[in-house]
Amino acid sequence: MGDQDTSIKTTKEVRDRLKTLASERGTTMNDLLEELVTRELTEEEKEQRAQYAMEEIRQMTGVTVTDEARAKARAFLEGLGRESHAA
């Protein structure tokens, strides 16, 4: 193992699934894990992207998106998600 390598404890079932997925994709378990974790954004990354998008909106339209508007939009989208899961 190199200087940056570490170990992660997991169940045999998870390890075996990772091994199978990596094999099917012609990659290593390490590369597969890296791909999977880089796909998912942290809360900070999500907020940074939202701030960037709101700045883009402001620059293109002159409209400033308020925190209240963001909260309403988030609640609306969450409601849509609940409805689609209930269907």
pTM (whole model) above 0.85: no
- CA–CA gap between residue 87 and residue 80 (Å, rounded): 11
Query: Among the residues of the chain, which ranges form H helices?
Result: 12-24, 29-39, 43-61, 67-86
- Can you tell me the distance from the alpha carbon of 58 to that of 55, in angstroms, rounded to the nearest whole number? 5
Angle at 15 between CA 85 and CA 31, to 5 degrees: 85
Sign for the CA dihedral angle at 1, 28, 22, 36 comes to positive
How does pLDDT run across 22-74, given as a tens digit for each residue? 999 999 999 999 999 999 999 999 999 999 999 999 999 999 989 899 899 98
Q: What is the pLDDT, as a whole number, of residue 38?
A: 92
Q: Which residue in this structure is represented by tokens 């570490």? A: 6
